[in-house]
Structure 1
Amino acid sequence: MEKSWVKKFEEQEQWFRELFLCHCGYSICESGHHFGPAVRPNYILHYVLEGKGTYHIGNRTYELEKEEGFLIEPNVMTFYQADEQQPWQYLWIGFQGSRADKLMREMGLSYRVPTFSSGCGEELLRIVQSVLHDERDGIEQMLFHQSQMYAFFSCIARSISTQNSEFQMGKRNYYVQAAVEYIQNHYAQEIKVQDIAEYVGISRSYLATLFQSIMHTSPNAYLMNFRLSRAKEQLSLTRFPVGMIAGMCGYKDALVFSKAFKQHVGMTPSQYRKLDRASQNKGLYHTE
């Protein structure tokens, strides 16, 4: 069981379609109290004020305690449960809107990275309590609730951005590593930078920023270079037609492939193959 204080909002969507508050609340859970497995129709950010608990999403389990939180995304099966010895107390806000997904990813939260830590628990509690106890009505009430929702996001975003640099660098490296692995495993398909960003769970602009910072190149340039390096291997090691190699390296159009190859390497694929074969033959001649 749990003791909960909840407030729901029904008119926010018609005024604030890009981002609006659906509900918020505060719960004191008893030992082992759980919710789910279930899916939710909107985004929910939980924040642990006291105690401990576990959050299950996909095949992953997160052990969470005071000053940590977790994101639930719409239509994703989740399960969370209070610890038997130290059951948690938490607050939450539920929200939705056309910009909700982008906002979460800009803050560094997603299905792949659904947890966070923040030391602003007292401020978050004041925000939620101000909404729960608010007695305004009409447009004044809706605007106040909207402002408190943004204050909630601002508080979490601020605390996430000021976490120690080692943690942040580790998270940034994780995103780039995941992106590189995706490219290596899917370069033969017609993937684009947007596909890579969606797989990693961050925005395209943030992915580009991370690549420039860590790899000193753009995601698109890395993808192209990786494809062309694989094309050079195929030209050297096989007798496959150039058009077939183009398709094997993610280029649907052989002419586009040849143009990119020449711009990158300085010669056409056929010229590269001819020069490489001549070089190999020369090497064999000198070793005999």
Structure 2
Amino acid sequence: MENSYVLQLKNRKFSEFYLCYCGYAKCESLHSFGPAVRPNYLIHLILDGHGRFQTGDATYELAAGQGFLIEPEVQTFYQADKNDPWTYLWVGFGGSRAGEYLRDIGLGNGSGTFRCGETGKLKNMLINILKKNTYTVENDFYRESFLYSFFAVLSGSIDGEKISREETENIYVREALEYIQNNYHYGIRVSDISDYVGISRGYLHTLFTKNLNQSPQEYLVNYRITRAEELLTVTDLSIEGVAQSCGYSDPLVFSKLFKKKTGKTPSLYRKSDWEETRDSLRRRQHRLDTL
């Protein structure tokens, strides 16, 4: 369990660099999250206490004044210390230039943990933006300016600690993942990915199977299907609209592939999710009625 304050955003006016969510939490002993992957970037800054962060084969024991970066689609796990659980803030963000901005300040592409000398200032900035919790045009711009200001302060106060990996290969994989995540809704193919990264399809295949245990084609399909599941759950888009939003011009091809991956047609998946949500709300209402 944790005592937290969270701002979750769905409506986005910006595409290059935008805030997804942010928050502040005082964790209880051994509170943990994961193993899990995220669809966006996520920075944690530790304000007090201790904990550990795991990514790949590496484990880091971290304390106040340090932070860690979670990159999209990378499995991680983190847990508060038993005797001195941490308090941290987090900022989740995305956009077509998010990876570029991270590299500009010395993070990303294998740099997963860092030291920060301005945690107090960043905490105050976060608390101020948490108060902008209503959806107005004014607050949209406040939140966007917060993200740039957050990076400005962070860039002048961090000291990166590199994760030990084969850096060149890691850069190729990260660039490929970033390209997929920013362009999956177009009809891109593996050849487009390898052309963007600047390596052959064969070498790209080797790097993906080595680092992700799946081929570039498998990753692209899985990413699109995951995004389709989200759209079927949180939007009223038609099946054809979901297909097109995920890079499939033919809804029949999309439906067959979706069923192959999930075991359900898109329509049945949406219906099942709605029924599960309805039943959950009924159970919650029943518990409230018995109080």
Structure 2 Cα separation of the partners of residues 136 and 59 of structure 1: 41
**Letter of the structure 2 residue corresponding to residue 99 of structure 1:** R
Distance 1:75 1:64, change over 3 A: same
Structural mapping, 1:36-185, within 5 Å: 36-134=34-132, 137-160=135-158, 163=159
**Letter of the structure 1 residue corresponding to residue 95 of structure 2:** G
Q: What is the aligned partner in structure 2 of residue 250 from structure 1?
A: none
Q: What is the aligned partner in structure 1 of residue 2 from structure 2?
A: 2
Structural mapping, 1:166-245, within 5 Å: 197-198=171-172
Structure 2 Cα separation of the partners of residues 35 and 54 of structure 1: 11
Contact 2:45–2:68 (CA<8 Å) still a contact in 1?
A: yes
User: In the TM superposition, what is the alpha-carbon distance from 1:103 to its structure 2 partner?
Assistant: 1.3
Contact 1:178–1:200 (CA<8 Å) still a contact in 2?
A: no
Structure 2 Cα separation of the partners of residues 142 and 38 of structure 1: 29
Structure 1 Cα separation of the partners of residues 133 and 174 of structure 2: 42
Q: In the TM superposition, what whole-angstrom CA distance separates every residue of 1:88-140 from its partner, at most 9, and x where no partner exists?
A: 00001100101111111222212521011111011111111011112565211
Distance 1:140 1:66, change over 3 A: same
Distance 1:137 1:40, change over 3 A: closer
For residue 84 of structure 1, give the secondary structure of its aligned residue in structure 2. Answer: coil
Distance 1:35 1:111, change over 3 A: farther
Contact 1:43–1:96 (CA<8 Å) still a contact in 2?
A: yes
Distance 1:99 1:87, change over 3 A: same
Identity rate, percent? 42
**Letter of the structure 2 residue corresponding to residue 122 of structure 1:** G
Structure 2 Cα separation of the partners of residues 3 and 92 of structure 1: 14
Distance 1:79 1:197, change over 3 A: closer
Worse-superposed segment, 34-43 or 106-115: 106-115
Q: In the TM superposition, what whole-angstrom CA distance separates every residue of 1:144-163 from its partner, at most 9, and x where no partner exists?
A: 00001111111110112xx5
For residue 85 of structure 2, give the secondary structure of its aligned residue in structure 1. Answer: coil
Contact 1:46–1:69 (CA<8 Å) still a contact in 2?
A: yes
Once superposed, what is the RMSD of the aligned Cα atoms?
2.5
Structure 2 Cα separation of the partners of residues 149 and 197 of structure 1: 24
Structure 1: which 5+ residue stretches go unaligned?
A: 183-194, 202-288
Structure 2 Cα separation of the partners of residues 199 and 23 of structure 1: 26
Distance 1:196 1:3, change over 3 A: closer
Distance 1:87 1:199, change over 3 A: same
The yes-or-no answer on 1:26 pairing with 2:29 is no
Contact 1:31–1:83 (CA<8 Å) still a contact in 2?
A: yes
Contact 1:34–1:79 (CA<8 Å) still a contact in 2?
A: yes
Contact 1:32–1:87 (CA<8 Å) still a contact in 2?
A: yes
TM-score by length of 2: 0.56
